[in-house]
Amino acid sequence: MTKWGGCMKIKSGLLFSAVLAAACALLIFPAQASQGAQKGVGYSLNILIPSLYPFMVLSVFVVKSGLARKIGRALNRPTQALLRLPGEAAASVLMSAIGGYPAGARSIAALREEGLIDRDQAEQMVCFCVNAGPSFVITAVGVGFLKSAQAGTILFVSQMISFLLMGLLCGAAMGKRSRTLRKQESGPPIDAARALIASASDAAYSTLMMCCFVILFASFMGLLRTAVKTRVPAAILSAALEVTGGCSDLASLRVPLWAVALAIGWGGLCVHFQVLACLGDIPISRLRFAACRLLQGMLSAAVCFGLTQLFPECAPVFSNISGPVSAKFSGSIPSAAALALMCLALLLNMPHEKLEIQEQ
């Protein structure tokens, strides 16, 4: 007890010292903190919300509307054989691959709330269902930061391959032991309109929370830049903390493309906190989660390096990026219109009656 009490006192002392240091830094360097927060607001408005919010809505909608079960019946065998997961998880896995970092986590939480996966399966999915969306990787990072759509495509393909490898590794780690799902004990099924309303509200809250994390970490990075003046250590620290600013800083240094892939695979501590916040009450080992993020980042970097060797014409992409980097390419009117039409088509094809979920 004495040793445990001593450890708790040390942790409390370190936490108090960190809070005190942060408070003093905010008082001494308010301008730097404000500039960092302004960058965070810009990242949130220009990149995070346009690229993430629609996918957050769809990720929760496929679970709440009962579509996850319908899709699961068709994909049950490959999902169980490759990932050691029930078919109901297939839709969330697919959405996490293209929906943006926390979209998969929120969909996993919805699956858990509906009783479609158990705690161990939720933790398994969180270990690999964390990926940047194509609009961020290809448009914001590729076109916006690196000035090359080819580089963005290579980064996205690298992420998808590392995502599949991580899924297979996590599935193999779970073994072949039989897993029985709990029967759903919720109320009557929700119709499509109510499911969409609930999903939009849920995604709005989650997106707002993520924006707050981005602004907070961007503000902290603004303070840290006052102490870390050298560009290379500052870029590494930025990539470790927040992925958007980190990719921008790495691009300005003209680092090899695999280094950017590593940063995207890692995601940054800001994304880690966003994912953990989206999980709600689902317990997960933070050390295991961080180790999986690092492993996925290393796999993505290795795959990216191999692809640049196969396609050397795509490697020297860092040209004319000395000016200010803009993230305005992360969203566009045509892409928004296409997404709206897809959602409308989905709703029009939904049955008018309530989606009855048949027990097996």
What is each CA distance from 67 to 106, 114, 118, 192, 354, in whole angstroms?
A: 16, 12, 19, 10, 12
The angle at the Cα of 56, spanning 348 to 190, to the nearest 5 degrees, equals: 50
- 288 falls within a domain: yes
Phi-psi region at 100: left, alpha or beta (left = phi > 0; alpha = psi -120 to 50) = left
DSSP structural state of residue 116: S
- Please report which confidence band the pLDDT of residue 104 belongs to, taking 50, 70 and 90 as the band edges: confident
User: Is the pLDDT at 291 greater than 70, yes or no?
Assistant: yes
User: Is the pLDDT at 336 greater than 60, yes or no?
Assistant: no
- 75 falls within a domain: yes
- 290 falls within a domain: yes
pTM: 0.77
**What is the identity of the amino acid at 194?**
R
* pLDDT tens, position by position, 223-245: 888 888 899 999 999 999 989 88
* pLDDT tens, position by position, 109-165: 888 888 888 888 999 999 999 999 888 899 889 999 999 999 999 999 999 999 999
- 4 falls within a domain: no
Contact criterion met (CB below 8 Å) for 236 and 245: no
Q: Where is mean pLDDT largest: 97-111, 184-198, 238-252?
A: 238-252
The pLDDT of residue 8: 67
- Please report which confidence band the pLDDT of residue 310 belongs to, taking 50, 70 and 90 as the band edges: confident
Tokens 């679970």 sit on residue: 63
Phi, psi of 335 (to 5 degrees): -65, -40
Lowest mean pLDDT among 76-85, 95-104, 178-187, 251-260: 178-187
Contact criterion met (CB below 8 Å) for 267 and 243: yes
Show the domain range for 57: 31-177+185-348
d(CA 182, CA 236): 44
The pLDDT of residue 9: 72
Secondary structure of 20-40 as H, E, C letters: HHHHHHHHHCHHHHHHHHHHH
The pLDDT of residue 5: 59
The pLDDT of residue 313: 64
Closest CA to 265 of 305, 296, 307, 308: 296
**What is the identity of the amino acid at 54?**
P
Contact criterion met (CB below 8 Å) for 267 and 293: yes
- 15 falls within a domain: no
Contact criterion met (CB below 8 Å) for 104 and 130: yes
- 76 falls within a domain: yes
- Please report which confidence band the pLDDT of residue 252 belongs to, taking 50, 70 and 90 as the band edges: very high
d(CA 171, CA 68): 20
- 360 falls within a domain: no
Q: How many domains does the chain have?
A: 1
- The residues near 278 (Cβ < 8 Å, ≥ 6 apart) are 102, 105, 106, 109, 206, 209
Lowest mean pLDDT among 87-101, 269-283, 337-351: 337-351
User: Is the pLDDT at 253 greater than 70, yes or no?
Assistant: yes
Lowest mean pLDDT among 135-149, 152-166, 203-217, 325-339: 325-339
- 19 falls within a domain: no
Separation of CA 291 from chain center: 15
| Mean pLDDT score, 43-72 | 85
